[in-house]
A = this chain, B = another copy of it.
């Protein structure tokens, strides 16, 4: 190969195999994809060692993608259960899986995941560092954090979340601007704590160039984490969050200079009316880098239903230009998600992504809806099931009902508006009480 990373190839005018696949999937000329990757507006996270991947593009003009979080932890150390979640995510066509494993033999699960996952794979190396070294947080040496990234790269991880924007300067902004919920990013809080406990600069910030060299070696995409992601609607769009975003913009330019692809992670908890401004800010301050959002959750009061609060925020974010949605499950804030939670989280995120795609005019997005509406207009139930986001649920729901008329549903029976209109526009009588 006469290039190192996708971005290096793109800048050299080379259209890679991965770009071709992305172009094909999106129905967009490969040259447009190449140009997007060259400018950093599109990322194609595809580690050279992840040979089973079916590459996807994330960024401007492309379909909004979704990510599924899973992984083993001390409270839930069941590799088989997590592998079933992986299979479900793949079956449901999630484009990315983040392995947030943080306990025990994480590499065993990670290897199985890389082997089986056609979806891109992300990790948060900091989560893994404690178990990796079997050391308490403060005892981990700065460069040891980098070695975990290298290990993940070698294993085939396509993108890594790195909280390099939580540097000394950002932490000063944070300390000067008290928040209701402080830092709720798990990796961000670990970095902040490590810095305080060791009275040192953030290792990923201090050794950022070395980190970039590791990323370039495997073509790992950097997902620059937002340690100051608001954890309460009271904390959103505050100086800490925006200061960190400015830092992430600087780090983006440095990554691109070394041909490392970048995504930017975003909020979080946030009032609905702030979401669009946050997307605009990210796209401006981070020079058009793809935006990867968690939620946003538009209210704090609905634990048990955060797949819905997140779908509201995610749809609005995607509509405004966010490129990648991290799923939120009903279990958020309460426990690790079980399989049913994962399923509900994926569906809610897919709804949000698709609603955003219709709104921002992604190529072909409306065609699916129009096919469904044609099927509805024809009262063609088998076709409606086939086109439904979740055919099984749709089928099960209608089957439960006792039907007055085979063609309609129990909501309106023979008062079905579609039936009434078909009859009257055909010049037929509209008998509702009697046949």
Contact of A193 among B305, B400, B423 (CB under 8 A): B423
Chain B residues, Cβ within 8 Å of A411: 331-336
A309-B421 in contact (CB<8A): no
Which chain B residue lies CB-closest to A330?
A: B397
Of A54-62, A148-156, A183-191, A241-249, which stretch is located at the interface? A183-191
Known contacts A272-B315, A335-B400, A370-B234; A138 and B186 CB within 8 A of each other: no
A181-B373 in contact (CB<8A): yes
Q: A3 at interface (Cβ–Cβ under 8 A)?
A: no
Which chain B residue lies CB-closest to A139?
A: B433
Which chain B residue lies CB-closest to A274?
A: B359
Contact of A418 among B181, B271, B319 (CB under 8 A): B181
Which chain B residue lies CB-closest to A180?
A: B373
Q: A250 at interface (Cβ–Cβ under 8 A)?
A: no
Which chain B residue lies CB-closest to A134?
A: B433
Interface residues of A in 278-325 (CB under 8 A from B): 298-305, 307-309, 311-312, 315-316, 319
A334-B299 in contact (CB<8A): no
B189-A417 in contact (CB<8A): yes
Q: A145 at interface (Cβ–Cβ under 8 A)?
A: no
A103 to B401 alpha-carbon distance, docked (Å): 17
B308-A384 in contact (CB<8A): no
Known contacts A232-B373, A417-B189; A299 and B74 CB within 8 A of each other: no
Chain B residues, Cβ within 8 Å of A368: 301
Which chain B residue lies CB-closest to A196?
A: B424
| Interface residues on chain A, number (Cβ under 8 Å) | 115
Q: A366 at interface (Cβ–Cβ under 8 A)?
A: yes
Q: Could you give, for residues 107-141 of chain A, a 1 whenever the CB lies within 8 Å of some chain B CB and a 0 otherwise?
A: 00000000000000000000100110011111000
A76-B138 in contact (CB<8A): no
Contact of A308 among B138, B311, B401, B432 (CB under 8 A): B311
A300-B372 in contact (CB<8A): yes
A370-B180 in contact (CB<8A): yes
Chain B residues, Cβ within 8 Å of A316: 272, 312, 316
B393-A75 in contact (CB<8A): no
- The interface centre, meaning the residue of A127, A298, A370, A372 with most chain B CB atoms within 10 A of its CB, is A298
Known contacts A75-B404, A373-B181, A376-B232; A388 and B272 CB within 8 A of each other: no
A432 to B187 alpha-carbon distance, docked (Å): 13
Interface residues of A in 312-357 (CB under 8 A from B): 312, 315-316, 319, 330-336, 338, 347-348, 351-352, 354-356
B298-A315 in contact (CB<8A): yes
B398-A334 in contact (CB<8A): yes
Known contacts A182-B377, A335-B398; A136 and B433 CB within 8 A of each other: yes
Q: Could you give, for residues 186-216 of chain A, a 1 whenever the CB lies within 8 Å of some chain B CB and a 0 otherwise?
A: 1011101100110000000000000000000
Chain B residues, Cβ within 8 Å of A434: 136
Task: In the A-B complex, list the 6 residue pairs whose CB atoms are closest, starting with the nearest.
Answer: A232-B373, A335-B401, A304-B393, A189-B417, A298-B355, A272-B359
25 contacts between A and B (CB under 8 A): A73-B412, A130-B433, A135-B433, A137-B430, A180-B374, A180-B377, A181-B377, A182-B377, A182-B417, A184-B417, A233-B366, A234-B369, A271-B366, A272-B316, A272-B355, A272-B356, A299-B351, A300-B372, A303-B384, A304-B390, A305-B390, A311-B311, A312-B315, A330-B393, A336-B401
